[in-house]
Amino acid sequence: MIRKPVVFITGANGEIGHGLITKLAADGGRRIVTLDLTRLDSALASRVEREFTGSILDTALLERILAEFEIDLVFHLAALLSTRAEFTPLAAHRVNVEGTLLLLEFAQKEGESHGRPVTVVYPSSIAAYGLPDLDTRARADRVREDQYARPTTMYGCNKLYCEQLGRYYARHYKQLTVGAFTGRVDFRAVRFPGLISATTLPSGGTSDYAPEMIHAAARGEAYECFVRPDARIPFMVMPDAVNALLTLAHVPRDRLTQTTYNVAAFNPSADEIRSIVAHAFPNAQITYRVDAKRQTIIDSWPADVDDSAARRDWDFAPQYSFHRAFDEYLIPTIRGQVSGVRGK
């Protein structure tokens, strides 16, 4: 039986999954198979060929998916984010690390069985960094992938390690064993900054203050920002994040000089975000109630990253600057949804 290759997405019902499935389905041409702990939202379910509900740690389920479909591209999105992971570090390690190990093993077997590499695209994170103190952070400027990689969160440790694990599978897997085992997994990772979507809210992250502020203002709800007004990290909007994943997935392998790439689009302070949101939604009630511990996590992440390797190797070029993101994507899309809901 000739099986048509499919795209496999884990953690598909999460925030990136929503953006990615919507775009992949709109582009057409690829059949999508998903795995998530929860059922896909109905808007997504109709766009995929097959939906599996279950855990990334369920090896029997992974075997079943492997037996049924020929997979040539994986977006491994399943993860517990940085704030959530600090409350349940063991569970985070299980999902974020053991889950990724099983997924890489799954991709390896899949690659061995159909004789072509399986591309695994992995969203790593700015949380992989750990700047030691505020002075160093102020001096650090735009941080490269190989600098300050000493994360202080469980999530950051998990992401940094899985970047290495992916590189191992791609380049050194079973290096002492006779036989052609290496090169069956084509692992490619992006270190995302904070992500902001007009249509969904993240859950359990530390960069969540930006999207929460925007969505609360749009709904007419008061919002207490949990970081200081001068807190500054890079962000990008979901359409640019999805484009980055899809571009990286399809660039010819010989153009890639590394397995992990920084990407980012703009890096406003929390107060610059508050100000643009207040301008768009004049009734916004945004105040500050700083959570010192979550602030410490933000302070350990760089104020900006150097994404020149991604720009050079695979032409990464985000479409949305800070102002364009608000004027042409966030505000019109959110207003459309709010008025759409009101109109019903």
Q: Which helix (H) or strand (E) holds 237?
A: strand 235-237
**C-beta of 8 vs 192, nearer to ligand SER:** 192
**C-beta of 106 vs 301, nearer to ligand SER:** 301
**C-beta of 78 vs 127, nearer to ligand SER:** 127
Contacts of 96 (CB under 8 A, 6+ apart): 79, 80, 85, 154, 155, 158, 159, 162
Give residue 27's Cα distance to chain centre: 20
End-to-end C-alpha distance for the chain, whole angstroms? 48
> Which strands make up the sheet holding 260-262, listed edge to edge?
50-53, 31-36, 5-10, 70-76, 118-125, 185-192, 260-262
* 141-160 positions binding ligand SER, by CB under 6 A: 155
Q: Does 284 bind ligand SER (CB under 6 A)?
A: no
Choice among 122, 129, 155, 223 that is catalytic = 155
Q: Does 207 bind ligand SER (CB under 6 A)?
A: yes
Q: Does 17 bind ligand SER (CB under 6 A)?
A: no
Contacts of 264 (CB under 8 A, 6+ apart): 126, 193, 234, 235, 236, 304, 305, 307, 318
Q: Per CB under 6 A, which region of 89-97, 129-137, 200-208, 264-272 contacts ligand SER?
A: 200-208
In the shown chain, the binding pattern of residues 115 to 144 toward ligand SER, with x for contact by CB under 6 A and - for none, equals ----------xxx-----------------
What minimum distance in Å lies between the beta carbon of 225 and ligand SER?
A: 14
What minimum distance in Å lies between the beta carbon of 290 and ligand SER?
A: 16
Q: Is 155 a catalytic residue?
A: yes
What minimum distance in Å lies between the beta carbon of 231 and ligand SER?
A: 12
Of the residues 158, 206, 260, 262, which one makes contact with ligand SER according to CB under 6 A: 206
Contacts of 162 (CB under 8 A, 6+ apart): 96, 97, 100, 122, 124, 189
CB burial string 136-157: b at 16+ within 10 A, e below: ebeebebbbbeebbebbbbbbb
**C-beta of 137 vs 184, nearer to ligand SER:** 137
Q: Does 205 bind ligand SER (CB under 6 A)?
A: yes
Residues 160, 155: Cα–Cα separation, whole Å? 9
Full DSSP string of 181-204? -TTSEEEEEEEE-EEE-SS----S
CB contact at 8 A, 162 and 122: yes
In the shown chain, the binding pattern of residues 239 to 278 toward ligand SER, with x for contact by CB under 6 A and - for none, equals ----------------------------------------
Q: Does 40 bind ligand SER (CB under 6 A)?
A: no
In the shown chain, the binding pattern of residues 67 to 86 toward ligand SER, with x for contact by CB under 6 A and - for none, equals --------------xx----
What minimum distance in Å lies between the beta carbon of 244 and ligand SER?
A: 14
Q: Which amino acids are annotated catalytic?
A: 155
Query: Which residues contribute to the site for ligand SER (CB under 6 A)?
Result: 81-82, 125-127, 155, 192, 194, 205-207
